[in-house]
Structure 1
Amino acid sequence: MKLQCDVEVVNRMLPSFGMKSRGKGMRAVLSIGKHLDKTSQRSNIYMMICTAKDRAGSKYKLKGNIEKFFTWFVDEGKATVRLKEPAVDICLSKADANSLKNFLSAARLADRGTDTSSLPLSTLTPVRARDVEQPKKKLTIVSKKDYPLTSNFPYSLEQLQVSYCKLSRVDMRMLSLKALRKLDLSNNHIKKLPATIGDLSCLSELILHNNHLEAFSEALCLSTLQRTLQLLDISQNRLQSLPTQFCQLKELVNLKLDDNELVCLPFHIGRLSKLRFLSAAHNQLAVLPSDFRKLCLENLDLFGNPFVQPNPLDNKMQLKFPLPLQEIASRAVANLRIPYGPHLIPAHLCRDLEVAKICDCGCVCISYYIKTAVSMNLHQVSHTVVLVDDMGGTDAPVQQHFCSLSCYSEFLDNSLQRGIR
């Protein structure tokens, strides 16, 4: 029976000498096995602890020698074994919870003097240096020749950077690194992201700068990344649009979209309530979505986009008189906040309601409306704004929708009055 974990052996006599324990464990391999006692010439069951400083190991007799087990936090991979002789506490941490439970069960049986044939014993031999190394948490590979082809990535990695390796796809071995918090695959040739990236349940930073991405999948937006992803860098790719579900990534704080081919930003971008840093410079944005007004940013960069010059009279009129019954019903569902879903109404109607537009009057319109663009000073949504163009401007056009001719006429009257003043 073997166990890999962090171990600290604390002498209980230290306080009586005015001393304290170090309070920090070392990576170790623990074994339970037979050892010949040279004094009595009898074999006994021992626990052996091997560390990087003591690879030969220190042995502790188990039979009748365990005073107490402390297992309150065993599900977190922590436990303490208190020995009678010597008077030490063996503090275990950072262990696999199931392996730790099995190891403690074996130690308990050995303490009771259970028949050794029923115990999963190991040979008490020195360990290899790699077995007691501290788990590797960070790995950086910036050359193709350093890329591991025959060996796996360390399971304990929390940060992984693989850049300038000409990867055309994401290596599936990376997707088994369940502790991964930061994945940097910048400066490669990746064209498509596997949906299984969403299985990295701790991932908070995903950096894909300078690749060949043409799409960001809906599956990723609906994965566990909704709860973890805080930084996303997909700048310098070939993206033309982002899915409506993109705004389900509600933990995003920093979003980098520069140097793509985006013709629009996600319709519900205002739902990214935690977003503080947004850069979408050098895209093909002509106008910003109406939801853009809801953002509350610290820094915004939209430089180098071909924004249109807004004109309230320049509109797209998509109205019908009288309104179709489906439009009237859909507006009623949205305005009255009636619950809906694919189990109640057809899926295509659900999709229409998901992108409902809000009129100046506060009412909702679905497929029939008047659309125009109005100028907005970007300082209304961001503390710091990078100039939109070389002329020193910080204004950009934002879409505006109207549910009826009367609402649009009232808007034009107000615009005219502001122009006269």
Structure 2
Amino acid sequence: MKLQCDVEVVSRMLPSAVLSIGKHLDKTSQRCQVYLMICTAKDRAGSKYKLKDNIEKFFTWFVDEGKATVRLKEPAVDICLSKADANSLKNFLSAARLADRGGDSGSLPLSTLTPVRARDVEQPKKKLAIVSKKDYPLTSSFPYSLEQLQVSYCKLSRVDMRMLSLKALRKLDLSNNHIKKLPATIGDLSCLSELVLHNNHLEAFSEALCLSTLQRTLQLLDLSQNRLRSLPPRFLPAAGAGHLKLSKLRFLSAAHNQLSVLPADFRRLSLENLDFFGNPFVQPNPLDHAMRLSFPLALQEMASRAVADLRIPYGPHLIPAHLCRDLELAKTCDCGRACVGSYIKTAVSMNLHQVSHTVVLVDDMGGTDAPVQQHFCSLSCYSEFLDTSIQRGIR
């Protein structure tokens, strides 16, 4: 039984060590007993510690974080474990407890202790690039220590769930595959700052991802050359929100998709680089609108607008969950007030330099304007907008 993790014995660090629990012939008694063995790159033969009646205490407060300490009686050392898989660590400690109590070793899958292979104790791998289907690991797992992973040209139709256990991952490049949908659990990669999905078959970017930990960590998002027809409203800030959903996002590419218009609050982003080239953006016409305005306003709409405008705290413990969702998707009128389910919607032209320092041209004509949805809370706000648009057109 083996566990790969970082180990500290007393004050001596043993990075990338392999711990083993197995049988070893005791030369004194000439009997096989259960030992714990620590192997490193410098000592592949390993240091062995007897387990039966030799463990003074286990420290497992942080076992769910892959950390634990085993205190031995003889020699008097502390074996500190870290960066281990939590489930594997729990199983390993259970085996050590059983061995300490002199339990039936036959009930454990133990073999005779042997020196480890050099590749088992090599320095933790930080980067891995797989650019061919024949090189894709089908039976072996990805190194737990990876911070950068590229898997391209492997014809993946979905994200391999093994990738989602790489908690140290900072950059994930899945470009040039056949991925149609992203799992919501990709948001569990709490350190991810770069996500490259160039040239896949994505048809939607899930709203759930925008509410995951990605909203706090993601700095670069490449969605270019996919089949996206729209970006989710919650990709952007909700009305009245004091921060962006993807607050650290600085580089965004959605070039060569099927976008016809951008979400209403896109203008609130603050980017360094933006690329929307090759999308079939529509030419905005202020007179072309969708009327979803009711007369008079429903009481629920009036109350929801007041909550959004006054920034009154709310949550599922106070109001029904569907009302919370409606408020999170509230729109902002041109006048600055909120509208939830009752509004007039049209599209207006916006220069993308308003939200990004560098903008790749939207079309071959040298333009940097793109259509953005605009909502109006009342007929008077919409009429005022039309008057201003007409006056600009005359000028």
Please state whether the residue corresponding to 1:13 is helix, strand or coil: strand
Q: Deviations over 1:74-128 (max 9, x none)?
A: 9988899999999999998756799999999999999999999999999775444
Q: CA RMSD for the aligned pairs?
A: 5.5
Aligned to 1:10: 10
> For the structure 1 residues 113 and 303, does the alpha-carbon distance in structure 2 shift closer, same or farther, using more than 3 Å as the test?
closer
> For the structure 1 residues 160 and 322, does the alpha-carbon distance in structure 2 shift closer, same or farther, using more than 3 Å as the test?
closer
Give the number of the structure whose alpha-carbon radius of gyration is greater.
Answer: 1
Mean CA deviation greater in 1-10 or 400-409: 1-10
Please state whether the residue corresponding to 1:14 is helix, strand or coil: strand
Identity of aligned residues (%): 90
How far the C-alpha of 1:298 sits from its partner, in A, is 1.4
Mean CA deviation greater in 354-363 or 85-94: 85-94
TM-score (norm 1): 0.65
How far the C-alpha of 1:380 sits from its partner, in A, is 2.0
Q: Deviations over 1:169-215 (max 9, x none)?
A: 33333344444443333222233333443444444433332222333
> Which ranges of structure 2 fall in alignment gaps of 5 or more residues?
238-244
Conserved? CA contact 1:11–1:87, under 8 Å: no
Please state whether the residue corresponding to 1:139 is helix, strand or coil: strand
TM-score (norm 2): 0.68
CA distance in 1, matches of 2:327, 2:62: 48
> For the structure 1 residues 274 and 411, does the alpha-carbon distance in structure 2 shift closer, same or farther, using more than 3 Å as the test?
same
> Which ranges of structure 1 fall in alignment gaps of 5 or more residues?
16-27, 247-264
CA distance in 2, matches of 1:411, 1:393: 23
How far the C-alpha of 1:379 sits from its partner, in A, is 2.0
Q: Deviations over 1:131-188 (max 9, x none)?
A: 4333333332222222233333334433333322222333333344444443333222
> For the structure 1 residues 181 and 238, does the alpha-carbon distance in structure 2 shift closer, same or farther, using more than 3 Å as the test?
same
CA distance in 1, matches of 2:278, 2:109: 68
> For the structure 1 residues 319 and 153, does the alpha-carbon distance in structure 2 shift closer, same or farther, using more than 3 Å as the test?
closer
> For the structure 1 residues 389 and 113, does the alpha-carbon distance in structure 2 shift closer, same or farther, using more than 3 Å as the test?
closer
How far the C-alpha of 1:49 sits from its partner, in A, is 5.4
CA distance in 2, matches of 1:394, 1:286: 15
Residue 138 of structure 2 corresponds to residue 149 of structure 1: yes
CA distance in 2, matches of 1:2, 1:400: 59
Mean CA deviation greater in 329-338 or 121-130: 121-130
Conserved? CA contact 1:13–1:87, under 8 Å: no
> For the structure 1 residues 314 and 59, does the alpha-carbon distance in structure 2 shift closer, same or farther, using more than 3 Å as the test?
closer
How far the C-alpha of 1:272 sits from its partner, in A, is 3.3
How far the C-alpha of 1:413 sits from its partner, in A, is 4.3
> For the structure 1 residues 78 and 352, does the alpha-carbon distance in structure 2 shift closer, same or farther, using more than 3 Å as the test?
closer
Mean CA deviation greater in 150-159 or 51-60: 51-60
Mean CA deviation greater in 94-103 or 366-375: 94-103
Q: How many residues align?
A: 387
CA distance in 1, matches of 2:302, 2:56: 76
Conserved? CA contact 2:167–2:191, under 8 Å: yes
Q: How does 1:145-224 map to 2 (within 5 A)?
A: 145-224=134-213
CA distance in 2, matches of 1:57, 1:285: 59
Conserved? CA contact 2:6–2:14, under 8 Å: no
Q: How does 1:375-414 map to 2 (within 5 A)?
A: 375-414=349-388
> For the structure 1 residues 381 and 121, does the alpha-carbon distance in structure 2 shift closer, same or farther, using more than 3 Å as the test?
closer
Please state whether the residue corresponding to 1:123 is helix, strand or coil: coil
Please state whether the residue corresponding to 1:80 is helix, strand or coil: strand
Q: Deviations over 1:365-386 (max 9, x none)?
A: 3343344444333222221222
Q: Deviations over 1:273-301 (max 9, x none)?
A: 32222223333444433312212121222
> For the structure 1 residues 147 and 361, does the alpha-carbon distance in structure 2 shift closer, same or farther, using more than 3 Å as the test?
closer
Please state whether the residue corresponding to 1:178 is helix, strand or coil: coil
Please state whether the residue corresponding to 2:10 is helix, strand or coil: strand
Q: Deviations over 1:307-364 (max 9, x none)?
A: 4444545544444444344433433333333444555555554444333332232222
Query: Which of 128, 135, 154 matches 1:139?
Result: 128
CA distance in 2, matches of 1:177, 1:137: 11
CA distance in 2, matches of 1:172, 1:416: 54
Conserved? CA contact 1:144–1:166, under 8 Å: yes
CA distance in 2, matches of 1:199, 1:379: 32
